[in-house]
Structure 1
């Protein structure tokens, strides 16, 4: 399974939204899909699934705001 597909599945699990992968450039924060608690859950799940480390102190919302951006960041951190 490609990273993006896995990320979409993680976001579906966390948010409960089935159509989350329809627009990979949709801003997940501006649309209210991700809030603070959901973001932490997504980050922890990404770390567990991809074996990456995302320090909360270095978390920049603008770099993690869309599925495509999340996928790019995961690739950089792998």
Structure 2
């Protein structure tokens, strides 16, 4: 699942997948993810994993690392 998330992030941001090699790195403070890319990320996760994340309910602190994104996606899939 992490590889799929990294690919979505790379596609969303136009960066190389290697930029996302540290799954615990804060994507926002590192500048790898911004608010516009976040919307694209959520749409990519919806398409890839079938999860719904309303932007209005998005809490940046719960989605700021690849590890947290993976955890949230799994929680949403099991909901």
Q: Render the CA deviation track for 1:30-65: whole Å, top value 9, x for unaligned.
A: 011111110000001101110001011210000000
Q: Per-residue deviation at 1:73?
A: 0.3
When normalised by structure 2's length, the TM-score is 0.90
Count of aligned pairs: 76
Q: Which runs of 4+ in 1 moved over 4 A?
A: none
State the match for 2:48 in structure 1: 49
The unaligned stretches of length 5 or more in structure 2 are none
1:1-78 counterparts in 2 under 5 A?
3-18=1-16, 19-78=18-77
When normalised by structure 1's length, the TM-score is 0.91
The unaligned stretches of length 5 or more in structure 1 are none
Partner Cα separation in structure 2 for residue 16 and residue 41 of structure 1 = 11
Partner Cα separation in structure 2 for residue 15 and residue 44 of structure 1 = 13
Q: CA RMSD, aligned part only?
A: 0.9
